[in-house]
Amino acid sequence: MSRPYPPHDLATFSDLEMMDRFVPAPDLRSWIRMTFLNEDSKLYNPDHAHLRDAALGILWTNCDNSRNMRAVVGQAELMPPMAMGKWQKARAEQQIADWFDGMPDFLLTFSAPAAAGMDDPSFCALVEHELYHCAQKLDDYGMPKFKQDGTPSFAIRGHDVEEFVGVVARYGAEAAGVSAMVDAAQRAPMIGRASIDGACGTCLRAVA
Ligand SMILES: [Zn+2]
Protein backbone atom coordinates (compact mmCIF):
# COMPACT_ATOMS: atom_id res chain seq x y z
CA MET A 1 0.00 0.00 0.00
CA SER A 2 1.63 3.24 -1.07
CA ARG A 3 2.21 6.10 1.30
CA PRO A 4 -0.64 8.63 1.39
CA TYR A 5 0.21 12.23 0.57
CA PRO A 6 -1.71 15.26 1.89
CA PRO A 7 -4.35 16.91 -0.30
CA HIS A 8 -2.68 19.16 -2.84
CA ASP A 9 -4.31 22.40 -1.68
CA LEU A 10 -3.00 21.87 1.85
CA ALA A 11 0.54 21.11 0.81
CA THR A 12 1.70 24.70 0.62
CA PHE A 13 1.91 26.87 3.73
CA SER A 14 -1.12 29.06 4.02
CA ASP A 15 -0.93 32.41 2.30
CA LEU A 16 -3.39 35.17 3.09
CA GLU A 17 -6.09 33.77 0.81
CA MET A 18 -6.00 30.24 2.22
CA MET A 19 -7.36 29.71 5.72
CA ASP A 20 -5.61 27.44 8.15
CA ARG A 21 -7.36 24.11 7.84
CA PHE A 22 -7.44 20.70 9.51
CA VAL A 23 -8.55 17.74 7.40
CA PRO A 24 -9.05 14.14 8.61
CA ALA A 25 -6.79 11.62 6.89
CA PRO A 26 -8.45 8.18 7.04
CA ASP A 27 -6.10 6.89 4.31
CA LEU A 28 -3.08 7.83 6.41
CA ARG A 29 -4.64 6.11 9.43
CA SER A 30 -5.09 2.87 7.46
CA TRP A 31 -1.55 3.11 6.11
CA ILE A 32 -0.13 3.60 9.63
CA ARG A 33 -2.03 0.50 10.82
CA MET A 34 -0.92 -1.56 7.81
CA THR A 35 2.69 -0.40 7.96
CA PHE A 36 3.65 -0.18 11.64
CA LEU A 37 0.97 -2.06 13.61
CA ASN A 38 0.49 -5.13 11.43
CA GLU A 39 2.77 -8.03 12.32
CA ASP A 40 3.12 -9.08 8.69
CA SER A 41 4.55 -5.74 7.65
CA LYS A 42 8.28 -5.29 7.08
CA LEU A 43 8.16 -2.12 9.13
CA TYR A 44 6.10 -3.63 12.00
CA ASN A 45 7.28 -2.30 15.36
CA PRO A 46 6.34 -4.28 18.49
CA ASP A 47 6.98 -1.15 20.58
CA HIS A 48 3.62 0.11 19.29
CA ALA A 49 1.74 -3.18 19.95
CA HIS A 50 -0.62 -1.53 22.48
CA LEU A 51 -1.84 0.80 19.71
CA ARG A 52 -3.63 -2.07 17.96
CA ASP A 53 -6.33 -1.50 20.60
CA ALA A 54 -6.20 2.30 20.24
CA ALA A 55 -8.47 4.51 18.18
CA LEU A 56 -6.26 6.94 16.26
CA GLY A 57 -7.54 10.18 14.79
CA ILE A 58 -5.24 11.61 12.13
CA LEU A 59 -5.26 15.14 10.71
CA TRP A 60 -3.38 16.99 8.02
CA THR A 61 -2.96 20.72 8.47
CA ASN A 62 -1.48 23.61 6.52
CA CYS A 63 -1.27 25.72 9.69
CA ASP A 64 2.30 26.91 10.22
CA ASN A 65 3.33 26.01 13.77
CA SER A 66 6.79 27.38 14.50
CA ARG A 67 7.88 27.81 18.07
CA ASN A 68 11.20 28.09 19.86
CA MET A 69 12.75 28.73 16.45
CA ARG A 70 11.72 25.27 15.21
CA ALA A 71 8.90 24.29 12.90
CA VAL A 72 6.57 21.72 14.45
CA VAL A 73 5.81 19.12 11.78
CA GLY A 74 3.89 16.57 13.83
CA GLN A 75 2.08 16.35 17.15
CA ALA A 76 0.45 13.64 19.26
CA GLU A 77 -2.26 14.40 21.82
CA LEU A 78 -4.20 12.28 24.25
CA MET A 79 -7.96 12.57 23.77
CA PRO A 80 -10.41 13.90 24.80
CA PRO A 81 -8.81 17.36 24.79
CA MET A 82 -8.21 18.85 28.22
CA ALA A 83 -7.57 22.16 29.96
CA MET A 84 -10.23 24.38 28.44
CA GLY A 85 -13.38 26.16 29.54
CA LYS A 86 -16.52 24.03 29.64
CA TRP A 87 -17.97 25.23 26.33
CA GLN A 88 -14.60 25.29 24.58
CA LYS A 89 -13.98 21.71 25.68
CA ALA A 90 -17.44 20.49 24.70
CA ARG A 91 -17.14 22.25 21.30
CA ALA A 92 -13.69 20.76 20.66
CA GLU A 93 -14.94 17.31 21.66
CA GLN A 94 -17.88 17.61 19.28
CA GLN A 95 -15.60 18.69 16.42
CA ILE A 96 -13.20 15.82 16.96
CA ALA A 97 -15.96 13.23 17.41
CA ASP A 98 -17.61 14.47 14.18
CA TRP A 99 -14.34 14.14 12.28
CA PHE A 100 -13.60 10.60 13.42
CA ASP A 101 -17.02 9.12 14.11
CA GLY A 102 -16.38 9.06 17.85
CA MET A 103 -13.68 10.19 20.22
CA PRO A 104 -10.27 8.64 19.40
CA ASP A 105 -7.73 7.73 22.08
CA PHE A 106 -5.00 9.76 20.39
CA LEU A 107 -5.03 12.60 17.89
CA LEU A 108 -2.04 12.86 15.56
CA THR A 109 -1.59 15.99 13.48
CA PHE A 110 0.88 16.25 10.62
CA SER A 111 2.03 19.31 8.70
CA ALA A 112 0.89 18.80 5.11
CA PRO A 113 3.55 21.08 3.55
CA ALA A 114 6.33 19.39 5.54
CA ALA A 115 5.09 15.86 4.78
CA ALA A 116 4.71 16.64 1.08
CA GLY A 117 8.41 17.54 0.89
CA MET A 118 9.71 14.50 2.79
CA ASP A 119 11.18 11.37 1.31
CA ASP A 120 9.68 8.09 2.54
CA PRO A 121 12.32 7.30 5.21
CA SER A 122 11.94 10.77 6.73
CA PHE A 123 8.15 10.53 6.71
CA CYS A 124 8.20 7.04 8.25
CA ALA A 125 10.53 8.36 10.97
CA LEU A 126 8.18 11.28 11.64
CA VAL A 127 5.14 9.00 11.90
CA GLU A 128 6.93 6.62 14.25
CA HIS A 129 8.14 9.56 16.32
CA GLU A 130 4.52 10.51 16.94
CA LEU A 131 3.52 6.87 17.55
CA TYR A 132 6.22 6.62 20.23
CA HIS A 133 4.54 9.51 22.06
CA CYS A 134 1.35 7.40 22.18
CA ALA A 135 2.17 5.17 25.11
CA GLN A 136 0.45 2.78 27.47
CA LYS A 137 0.46 3.90 31.12
CA LEU A 138 2.54 1.87 33.56
CA ASP A 139 1.34 0.79 36.99
CA ASP A 140 3.31 1.13 40.24
CA TYR A 141 5.29 -2.00 39.37
CA GLY A 142 6.25 -0.75 35.92
CA MET A 143 3.81 -3.10 34.20
CA PRO A 144 1.43 -1.97 31.42
CA LYS A 145 -1.77 -0.57 32.91
CA PHE A 146 -5.28 -1.53 31.77
CA LYS A 147 -8.68 0.01 32.32
CA GLN A 148 -11.48 -1.90 34.05
CA ASP A 149 -12.84 -3.03 30.68
CA GLY A 150 -9.49 -4.65 29.88
CA THR A 151 -8.39 -2.13 27.26
CA PRO A 152 -5.02 -0.36 27.64
CA SER A 153 -4.81 2.81 29.70
CA PHE A 154 -3.10 5.38 27.49
CA ALA A 155 -0.76 8.30 28.15
CA ILE A 156 1.56 10.65 26.29
CA ARG A 157 5.21 9.77 26.69
CA GLY A 158 7.94 12.42 26.54
CA HIS A 159 11.11 12.18 24.45
CA ASP A 160 13.82 9.77 25.59
CA VAL A 161 16.46 12.47 25.15
CA GLU A 162 16.31 16.21 25.53
CA GLU A 163 19.80 17.70 25.53
CA PHE A 164 21.99 20.29 23.82
CA VAL A 165 24.69 19.14 21.41
CA GLY A 166 27.05 21.56 23.17
CA VAL A 167 26.54 19.86 26.56
CA VAL A 168 27.23 16.44 25.05
CA ALA A 169 30.32 17.87 23.30
CA ARG A 170 31.64 19.36 26.55
CA TYR A 171 30.69 16.68 29.08
CA GLY A 172 30.20 13.46 27.11
CA ALA A 173 27.21 11.23 26.51
CA GLU A 174 27.23 9.60 29.94
CA ALA A 175 27.31 12.82 31.98
CA ALA A 176 24.61 14.24 29.72
CA GLY A 177 22.49 11.09 30.19
CA VAL A 178 22.26 10.29 26.49
CA SER A 179 24.38 7.12 26.31
CA ALA A 180 21.50 4.91 25.18
CA MET A 181 20.73 7.31 22.33
CA VAL A 182 24.39 7.47 21.28
CA ASP A 183 24.65 3.66 21.36
CA ALA A 184 21.55 3.37 19.18
CA ALA A 185 22.87 5.98 16.77
CA GLN A 186 26.18 4.16 16.42
CA ARG A 187 24.52 0.90 15.39
CA ALA A 188 23.41 0.50 11.81
CA PRO A 189 19.71 1.39 11.52
CA MET A 190 17.40 -1.62 11.94
CA ILE A 191 15.33 -0.28 9.10
CA GLY A 192 17.47 0.70 6.15
CA ARG A 193 16.42 2.92 3.33
CA ALA A 194 16.14 -0.22 1.20
CA SER A 195 13.49 -1.89 3.37
CA ILE A 196 11.40 1.28 3.41
CA ASP A 197 11.73 1.51 -0.37
CA GLY A 198 10.36 -2.00 -0.65
CA ALA A 199 7.54 -1.48 1.84
CA CYS A 200 6.31 1.85 0.56
CA GLY A 201 5.88 1.26 -3.11
CA THR A 202 6.04 4.97 -3.96
CA CYS A 203 9.60 5.03 -2.79
CA LEU A 204 11.37 4.01 -5.96
CA ARG A 205 9.96 7.09 -7.58
CA ALA A 206 10.44 9.26 -4.49
CA VAL A 207 14.11 8.60 -3.86
CA ALA A 208 15.39 7.70 -7.31
ZN1 LIG B 1 8.07 14.55 19.80
In this prediction, residues 176-186 reach a mean pLDDT of 90
CA 198 / ligand 1 centre spacing (Å): 26
Q: What pLDDT score does 131 carry?
A: 96
Q: How confident is the model at residue 2 (pLDDT cuts 50, 70, 90)?
A: confident
Helices 193-200, 120-133: inter-axial angle, 10-degree rounding:
90
Q: Is the dihedral of CA 109, 114, 45, 140 positive or negative?
A: negative
Average pLDDT along the chain: 88
CA distance 120 to 206: 7
The whole-model pTM stands at: 0.87
Distance (angstroms) between ligand 1 centre and the Cα of 17 equals: 30
- Distance of CA 71 from the midpoint of ligand 1 (Å): 12
Each residue of 58-99: pLDDT tens digit?
999 998 888 777 788 999 999 999 878 999 999 999 999 999
**What is the C-alpha to C-alpha distance for residues 123 and 3, in angstroms, rounded to an integer?**
9
Q: How far is Cα 198 from Cα 131, in angstroms, rounded to an integer?
A: 21
Prior bond of 80 cis (ω within 30°): yes
Distance from the alpha carbon of residue 118 to the mean position of ligand 1, in angstroms = 17
* Ligand 1 centroid to residue 44 C-alpha, Å: 20
What confidence tens digit (pLDDT) does each residue in 190-201 have?
A: 887 656 654 443
